[in-house]
Homo-oligomer: A and B are copies of this chain.
Amino acid sequence: MPQLRIALAQTNPAVGDLSANADRLVEWTHRAAERGAHLVLFTEMFLTGYPVEDLVLRTSFVDASVTALPATAGRLAAEGLGEIPVVVGYVDRSGAAPRAGQPKGAPLDAVALLHRGTVVTRSAKHHLPNYGVFDEYRYFVRGDRLPIVRLHGVDVAIAVCEDLWQDGGPVSAAGAAGAGLLVVPNASPYEREKDDVRLRLCVDRAREAGCALAYANQVGGQDELIFDGDSLVVDAAGNLVARARQFEEELLVADLELPAADPAAGPGSFPVDAGDGTTITVERLVLSAEPLPPYPPEPPVVAPRLADLEEVYSALVLGVRDYVAKNGFRSVVLGLSGGIDSALTATIAADAVGPDRVHVVLMPSRYSSEHSVSDALELVERQGLQARTVPIAGMVDAFEKEVELHGLAAENLQARVRGMLLMALSNEHGHLVLTTGNKSELATGYSTLYGDSAGGFAPIKDVLKTTVWELSRWRNSQAGRGGELLHPFLVPPIPENSIIKEPSAELRPGQRDTDSLPPYEVLDRLLSDYVERDMGNAELVAAGHDAELVARVIRLVDVAEYKRRQYPPGPKITPKNFGRDRRLPITNRWREAAGT
């Protein structure tokens, strides 16, 4: 059987930075050539970065992408890389006549094959995802072609990302056309435990199409999304051949033995029923009909999987690191209370940007416990952070002299004085403010708008409180280890007392979280079912949650909707978080609570 060495470029583009992305493409193609690859596969919309959102509705942006593609092909040839075919995603424009209801300019989530200085073939994603974090009907029109390129005697078909996840379309057309290898550029964001689903999907689709499948995925943080890499190759029988690391850049090289193309199937195009109510035009091209002379394959690389907690922690570190870097910040600042949320947030930040770029502020009030200061100082010492202490009593008094405040209004004032201090230090010194709220607080509204929620990025926004504790213990267990995503702290970076003590906002004497909320073990299970699974009141009760608690928590969550909308972005680790991928009308009278 003919051989082929393919290289999957699992790397980190920047949205909108076409020239930097093209530079990176050339650099990684050099590396692939050095490894002797016969084909290089970049990720979905690599030239533009993904997701581009409404930028794609700007004519000038689409023009820039369309122009960048042949320029990049020319540049590869000029740098002596013309002979190696490069598959890369970009944004193109459909030639179809404009139609009412279509996005302006009918953009395509496109892919091309570059070779010998030219664009050999182009196609575009057929299945457009429009759920969860995806809005692609807003941005793109559907592609309806499947290029099959004969390379060293192997028929290589090209599809894009979501085309794998849906029945019918390019994958079934590739099967019908007898392709030997299906290559798929992706920009598939991380979700907790999604890597298992992804492998199963690739296995199923490879078997369905009866050909090997190469899946290249983007890596890196882009605002709230984290792309986890996890690029992989399976053979036609569904066996895993190669797999890249998660959350790190990698050039994944795999040697494959693939079926020889049918010589009778010459160049040309023909329609195939896509099995989804549409027709796909298969377009056959021949780059090189003859198989390569046999060569010794490289040993296959299958990176080990991360365990669940390491996976989540890595996602959070990468999300923070790229948000800081892609926004042009060099340092972060956050308030340190001695509690577990700010302790974990500081630790993630130290792993992401280095402890010397993490500035923390202790802001004790008249209600702060002694251990709040001592636990915070111990964390500072263990990690070597930049710390300062600013007591807030004078500022709180100045407000209370002018306006009389009681209860919640007085508690919020303290949180807001702290938020203002952090924002002032951010404005003065250029740090990005990190907020420290977790998903359990955020969901139930147990936080102060413009107070503890003030800031530019919310690292643990999608982390339930019970997971905050789990991650903290996990991180402490890794003391002494280092790596791309872990700073080599020699001692456990989080003080044990911050992990074990009872949670308190310390905004009034003797306050405890359980004064306002059920125990977090109970609350988090309920939030997970209500928020992530969209279960209704009756379903929640049937699932074993206490009926009274269901009514109470639903009320908290529904009422807190407005506050959550003004919360800063943060890395997503679940399919359903707050923000764009869970959209409720702010003013709605729908209550899941029984009898309301």
Contact = CB atoms under 8 A, between A and B. Distances in A.
Interface string A331-352: 0000000000000000000000
A479 to B, nearest CB: 32
A419 B402 CA distance: 14
A536 B62 CA distance: 11
Interface string A494-532: 000000000000000000000000000000000000000
B583 A166 contact: no
Contact of A59 (B427, B536, B583): B536
Interface stretch (A45-53, A170-178, A366-374, A468-476): A45-53
Contact of A412 (B63, B129, B424, B565): B424
A223 B586 contact: yes
A67 interface: no
B103 A450 contact: no
Nearest to A361: B403
A162 B416 CA distance: 45
Contacts of A61: 536, 590
A587 B581 CA distance: 18
Interface string A51-70: 11111011111011000000
Interface string A125-138: 00101110001011
A58 B535 CA distance: 7
B586 A419 contact: no
Contacts of A450: 419-420, 423, 450, 454
A180 interface: no
A353 to B, nearest CB: 15
Given A450-B450, A454-B450, A585 B536 contact: no
Contacts of A588: 14-17, 49, 52, 55
Number of copies: 2
A413 B405 contact: no
Nearest to A566: B566
A54 to B, nearest CB: 5
Nearest to A582: B54
A560 interface: no
A456 to B, nearest CB: 7
17 contacts: A15-B588, A16-B585, A17-B588, A17-B589, A17-B590, A54-B584, A60-B536, A63-B536, A101-B131, A130-B138, A222-B587, A326-B589, A395-B398, A395-B399, A395-B402, A399-B424, A403-B428
- List the 8 closest A-B pairs by CB distance, nearest first: A60-B536, A16-B590, A17-B589, A409-B427, A326-B587, A398-B398, A16-B588, A137-B137
Interface of A: 14-18, 20, 49, 51-55, 57-61, 63-64, 99-101, 103-104, 127, 129-131, 135, 137-138, 162, 165-167, 222-223, 322-323, 326-327, 390-391, 394-395, 397-399, 401-406, 408-409, 412-413, 416-417, 419-421, 423-425, 427-428, 449-450, 454, 456, 534, 536-539, 562, 565-566, 568-569, 580, 582-592
Given A135-B583, A394-B402, 18 more contacts: A14-B587, A15-B587, A16-B589, A17-B590, A53-B583, A53-B585, A59-B536, A61-B536, A99-B167, A101-B162, A137-B137, A327-B587, A397-B398, A403-B428, A404-B428, A417-B420, A566-B566, A569-B586
